[in-house]
Amino acid sequence: MKVFVGLIVGVAVALLAQFPLEPLADQNDLLHWVQHGLIFWAGIAVGVSLTFLYRQGQRKAAWPGR
């Protein structure tokens, strides 16, 4: 369940950093770098979540009797 929350939060942060923050980031250098940081950490969260989901699926495929 935590994996899905991490995936949803990561995608939501990336979308919020990309679209609503874009006009403000064009006007202010600090907000521009905050936008980059948010997109970076959202990518990390999505990547880790997808890795855990992939590993869970592989475990079930490798040991179908369990």
pLDDT at 64: 65
Q: What is the mean pLDDT of residues 23-27?
A: 93
pLDDT band at 66 (very low <50, low <70, confident <90, very high): low
Rounded to two decimals, what is the model's pTM? Answer: 0.80
pLDDT band at 62 (very low <50, low <70, confident <90, very high): low
| Tokens encoding 59 | 């475990």
**Which residues are within 8 A (CB) of 41 and not within 5 positions of it... i.e. 6 or more apart?**
13
* pLDDT tens-digit series, residues 6-24: 999 999 999 999 999 999 9
Angstrom distance (rounded) from CA 53 to CA 37: 24
pLDDT at 65: 63
Show me where the domains of the chain are located.
2-55
